[in-house]
């Protein structure tokens, strides 16, 4: 087992364990902190796949900015012990059924997927580097790039319309 493989398994255990803690921990602030840990583990996976730009952006945007938003949302919600949401039995059953369906679909998809070839190019893949990514983004995918700016514009307008009282 090489260094890459050991790192992969350590990061996988870290990511899955912290993701489970996000769901199971009672305090929502702890959930957010575990989510940050999960994002760092995923960034480690990106670095293992040599997607360096994606790894850094994942830390800047998700672990930095989006997590601040999550904390703001938790503060906005006013989570006191007295207003703990009621646990509905039927809601739990519906959630279990929905999650089971998703698991079934995922397992079926992975069962038929062709994984006989190399799954992922670790350590020295070239496509995730910033040069190649920039060329692909601004040459081949320039229209989706512009559409993303329209998406950002709509997000700005939506945030202002919802958040600003007239």
Partner 1 sequence: MNWIFLQVKNPITDVSSAGSYLPIAIQLIFAVLFIAAMMGLTHWLGPKRNTADKLENFASGIESHGDARQPMAIKYFLVAILFVLFDVEVIFFYPYAVNFRQLGWEGFFAVLMFVGFFLAGFFYIIKKGALNWED
**Which residue in the block uniquely carries the two structure tokens 């912290």?**
18
Tell me: does residue 144 bind partner 1 (CB under 8 A).
no
Q: Are 42 and 65 in contact, with CB atoms under 8 Å apart?
A: no
Q: Which of 64, 57, 67, 62 is nearest to 137 (CA)?
A: 57
**Would you say 99 or 158 has its CB closer to partner 1?**
158
In the set 2, 80, 85, 119, which binds partner 1 (CB under 8 A)? 80
Backbone phi, psi, residue 129, to 5°: -75, 155
Tell me: does residue 31 bind partner 1 (CB under 8 A).
no
| Choices 14-22, 45-53, 85-93, 105-113; region in contact with partner 1 by CB under 8 A | 45-53
Burial class (CB in 10 A: 0-12, 13-18, 19+), 73: exposed
d(CA 137, CA 144): 9
Residue numbers 103-122 binding partner 1 by CB under 8 A: 122
Tell me: does residue 99 bind partner 1 (CB under 8 A).
no
Q: Which of 52, 18, 12 is nearest to 33 (CA)?
A: 18
Q: Which residues bind partner 1 (CB under 8 A)?
A: 3-4, 44, 47-50, 52-53, 57, 60-61, 64-66, 68-69, 72-73, 75-80, 122-124, 126, 129-131, 133-135, 137-139, 142, 145-146, 148-150, 152-153, 155-157, 159-160, 163-164
């Amino acid at each position: 087992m090489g260094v890459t493989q050991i790192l992969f398994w350590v990061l996988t255990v870290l990511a899955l364990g912290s993701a489970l803690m996000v769901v199971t921990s009672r305090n929502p602030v702890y959930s957010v902190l575990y989510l940050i840990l999960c994002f760092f583990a995923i960034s480690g996976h990106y670095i293992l796949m040599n997607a360096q730009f994606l790894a850094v952006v994942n830390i800047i945007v998700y672990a930095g900015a989006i997590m601040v938003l999550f904390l703001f949302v938790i503060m906005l919600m006013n989570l006191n012990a007295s207003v703990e949401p009621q646990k509905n039995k039927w809601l739990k059953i519906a959630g279990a059924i929905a999650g089971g369906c998703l698991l079934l679909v995922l397992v079926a998809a992975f069962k038929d997927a062709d994984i006989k070839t190399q799954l992922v190019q670790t350590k020295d893949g070239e496509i995730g580097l910033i040069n190649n990514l920039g060329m692909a983004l601004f040459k081949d995918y320039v229209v989706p790039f512009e559409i993303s700016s329209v998406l950002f514009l709509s997000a700005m307008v939506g945030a202002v319309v919802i958040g600003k009282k007239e």
